[in-house]
Chain A
């Protein structure tokens, strides 16, 4: 019955979008090639990649990104699920909290985190230290970083997950699973999570981009992250920043592609309409 019409308008939107997105990138790229006078060359790129710190910091940021995705997914999914099924009253306050990271400047957040977590966590009223100050050692600082980034990514991850849950009708799925005798762990990991793949992918991609590109929190926490490294490399140079921003764009795009591959494709697509 469904006619296989040529999706004319879809192509128009797509091509318009492609034009809009690619032109500024192309402009950055052509400028970065102009480092050598009178000739196009990759000189700016050579200079930018001469440093092995580039890969070290990129790797570190990738690690932090994966951790952040994990934490924010583990935080958002049960919460969104619980609110949908059992506690709709809490919905507004949770949504409000997830929108707060937009209005809290990153610099306030990082200084707040430092203030609170640079003191050791003691057993109340004693001097016995349970956890030494997080900022004093690398693992602790990385944990703090992941926490900070989870906060930053919360609006995006939560919204993606929430939209996904609305789409898949969690109430019915849960009932069906329960009537088949599943416990909460099975429901969560074998029914809900797989159906949220497409939404999780969106949330993961958004989180990844935020973490790899972030500068303020990382540079004040003194961690070897990619953002501060790019900054250190040459905000005052002419051509290298353009080369670097183009490269980090492409590298992040490749990483996104890998994430998508690993997450098993594109989730449920409902076929031609």
Chain B
């Protein structure tokens, strides 16, 4: 008797399970958009997503891993080739070098937004596969409560008063931001866009002076005072100051020399399950409205020159952006060359004494 009851129960469970599994069919793709790697306080992506949702209330935006790096986004496209579900990214926002490599690997598809012509030619792919979205300049975020003496230029970072206070925002062997930090330092120290060696040498000096902390700096550490000087994109630094709201007091400095602009690019995945919504998203990002939302996050939108000429940028927004005149934009070849040099040489040139055993 007991085994019979047991068997019935098992069978019932099986039926229920099977029903559940089969009843929930695939959701209608028309109402979704899958984005990836978009932290809400990076270039005001939070505001951008909210505005997009408000404009198209029928579309559900699935936000995949906001902490993903560019490599992860590419990997996600590859892994989801056959997947029409909410895990497959429709659109990606990746580092400059990844635009071309994704095109070669046939992972993205071309699309030209209505405002295509106002995107500068050197920031987009001629065939429309990828297109620059915004840029920022490397800057110093300084916690002035802990360090009232604010460095104004790269050379200042060598001063003894900054002992144990300077940190980068990533690992120079893997992080876009950190590699370009070293590249930027090269520009200010006798190097050029074609030769980043000076940057490595500079950081070797900063490290041996004891000023460089190996921590990956984040805003919590800056606020704590453990890494009161953080080298990061100006838009991250400005957003940080907003979020600090005076506690701690902080400043952003665009270094006098070695102003380095980093561009990120957008693309639509070749396997996007929601192609129409992806196009709507792109149209929105490159409309004046979308570009201004990025500007609110302190990023320089790629169509900035065009929008300035047409005087569509509100004056108060313009006033908030720091002066970045003289910022240089590396080409793809220069970026790749610097990357190879920096990631390969960092350990031997700079990292020597940080590996000290107890």
Contacts and interface: CB of A to CB of B under 8 A. Distances in A.
Chain A in direct contact with chain B (Cβ < 8 angstroms): yes
B358 interface: no
Contacts of A241: 220
Interface in B207-224: 218-220, 222-224
B244 A222 contact: no
A234 B219 CA distance: 10
Interface string A185-199: 000000000000000
A141 interface: yes
Given A31-B224, A132-B25, A137-B24, A219 B243 contact: no
Interface string A23-56: 0000000010011111000000000000000000
Contact of A235 (B25, B39, B222, B244): B39
A112 B41 CA distance: 30
A177 interface: no
B218 A236 contact: yes
B88 to A, nearest CB: 8
Contacts of A36: 247
A29 B354 CA distance: 30
A128 interface: no
B240 A236 contact: yes
Interface in A135-167: 135-141
B72 interface: yes
- Max chain B C-beta neighbours (<10 A), residue from A112, A231, A236: A236
A135 B220 contact: no
A133 B25 CA distance: 9
Given A219-B64, A219-B65, A232-B63, A118 B82 contact: yes
Given A131-B21, A220-B76, A237-B41, A114 B86 contact: no
Contacts of A58: none
A234 B46 CA distance: 11
Interface in B50-86: 62-68, 72, 75-76, 78-86
B75 A236 contact: no
Contacts of B25: 132, 136-137
A140 B40 contact: no
Nearest to B222: A238
A111 interface: yes
Contacts of B67: 215, 219, 231, 235
Contacts of B22: 131-132
Nearest to B249: A37
A242 interface: yes
B63 A236 contact: no
B42 interface: yes
Contacts of A4: none
B20 interface: yes
B223 A238 contact: yes
A216 B158 CA distance: 38
B34 interface: yes
A interface secondary structure, majority: helix
Given A220-B65, A238-B244, A136 B27 contact: yes
A207 B171 CA distance: 31
Given A107-B72, A137-B26, A236-B219, A222 B62 contact: yes
Interface in A216-246: 216, 219-222, 228, 231-232, 234-239, 241-242
A169 B24 CA distance: 46
A254 B358 CA distance: 37
B83 A135 contact: yes
B269 to A, nearest CB: 14
B24 A139 contact: yes
A36 to B, nearest CB: 7
Contacts of A138: 24
A242 to B, nearest CB: 6
B239 interface: yes
Nearest to B24: A137
A215 B83 CA distance: 21
Contacts of A235: 39, 66-67, 218
Interface of B: 20-22, 24-27, 34, 39-42, 62-68, 72, 75-76, 78-88, 218-220, 222-224, 236, 239-240, 243-244, 246-248
27 contacts: A31-B224, A34-B223, A34-B247, A37-B247, A111-B78, A115-B81, A118-B83, A119-B82, A133-B26, A135-B83, A136-B27, A136-B84, A137-B27, A141-B86, A141-B87, A219-B66, A222-B62, A222-B87, A231-B67, A232-B66, A235-B67, A236-B39, A238-B219, A238-B220, A238-B223, A239-B220, A241-B220
Instruction: Please list the 3 inter-chain residue pairs (A to B) with the smallest Cβ-Cβ separation, ordered nearest first.
Output: A118-B83, A219-B65, A37-B247
Interface of A: 31, 34-38, 107, 111-112, 114-115, 118-119, 131-133, 135-141, 215-216, 219-222, 228, 231-232, 234-239, 241-242
